[in-house]
């Protein structure tokens, strides 16, 4: 028997083929999540870096309406900072226009709006990461299941034919070990990508918290005057 991948695939049993097919789906899914999240995070970082100094300048000049306008623009639709600050600015302006609350209540309302926006934004940024973690954690076990099933099938064939020795089962064991190798091949990039994306997400969280604190400080100064 040749040990090319095509020949190994042709000699695999139904269980081994099913396991490798499942891992192929897991691999495609994890790769799509990696690419989509990387592109999303890249856009968020790029747009936020361009947005932050602009909105800071407008707020220093007291141009809140202009700050709201650029925060809701299409060129910052992927910016995590714009989404959070927009919620706080909108609530701040709404409370000022109604004039139905005092300073402390105005600040509390703006703070709650920012917290809600931050939570929603984090939920959106985390989309797909749990699936990536699941693939990284379970792919080796799925591959191991395929390997065990393949080895059982190899020894079963040896028992039925009555032949012994390593030569009789070497092909079957080779087929079985492909599942373990495939499982590791799927899991390792998924774990790397999950750790990398989680680190990026933590950075975004810190940026949103810092921007929210700065906005609250700005509002406190404005309402104090």
Spatial distance between the Cα atoms of 92 and 54, rounded to a whole number of angstroms = 19
Global confidence as pTM: 0.83
Which has the closest alpha carbon to 116: 206, 42, 212? 212
Task: Say how far apart CA 141 and CA 139 lie, in whole Å.
Answer: 5
Domain boundaries, the chain: 5-224
Q: Which of 182, 155, 200 is nearest to 43 (CA)?
A: 200
Does the structure show a pLDDT above 60 at 1? no
pLDDT-above-90 percentage for the chain? 46
pLDDT tens for 11-69 read 666 777 888 889 999 999 999 999 999 999 999 999 999 999 999 888 888 888 899 99
Q: Which of 121, 148, 131, 159 is nearest to 16 (CA)?
A: 148
With beta carbons less than 8 A apart as the criterion, state whether 183 and 146 touch.
yes
pLDDT tens for each residue of 131-161: 999 999 999 999 898 888 878 777 776 776 6
Rg (the chain; Cα; Å): 28
Residue 88 CA to residue 113 CA, distance in Å, equals 6
Sequence-separated contacts (24+) of 14-18 with Cβ below 8 Å: 15/146, 15/149, 15/150, 15/153, 16/146, 16/149, 16/150, 16/153, 16/175, 16/176, 16/178, 16/179
Sign for the pseudo-dihedral over CA of 50, 54, 59, 65: negative
By mean pLDDT, which of 53-62, 161-170, 186-195 is the weakest?
161-170
Mean pLDDT over 98-111 rounds to 76
Average pLDDT along the chain: 85
């Amino acid at each position: 028997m040749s040990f090319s991948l095509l020949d190994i695939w042709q000699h695999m049993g139904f269980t081994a083929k099913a396991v490798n097919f499942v891992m192929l789906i897991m691999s495609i899914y994890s790769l799509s999540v990696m690419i989509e999240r990387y592109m999303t995070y890249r856009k968020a970082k790029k747009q936020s870096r361009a947005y932050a100094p602009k909105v800071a300048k407008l707020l220093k000049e007291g141009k809140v309406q202009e700050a709201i306008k650029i925060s809701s623009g299409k060129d910052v639709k992927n910016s995590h900072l714009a989404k959070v600050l927009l919620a706080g600015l909108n609530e701040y302006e709404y409370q000022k226009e109604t004039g139905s609350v005092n300073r402390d209540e105005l600040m509390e309302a703006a703070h709650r709006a920012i917290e809600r926006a931050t939570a929603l934004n984090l939920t959106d940024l985390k989309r797909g990461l749990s699936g990536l973690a699941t693939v990284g954690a379970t792919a080796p076990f799925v591959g191991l299941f395929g390997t065990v099933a393949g080895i059982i099938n190899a020894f079963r064939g040896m028992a039925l034919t009555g032949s012994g020795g390593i030569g009789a089962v070497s092909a079957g064991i080779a087929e079985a070990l492909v599942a373990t190798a495939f499982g590791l091949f799927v899991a390792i990039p998924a774990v790397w990508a999950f750790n990398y994306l989680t680190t990026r997400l933590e950075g975004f969280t810190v940026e949103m918290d810092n921007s929210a604190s700065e906005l609250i400080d700005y509002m406190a100064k404005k309402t104090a005057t």
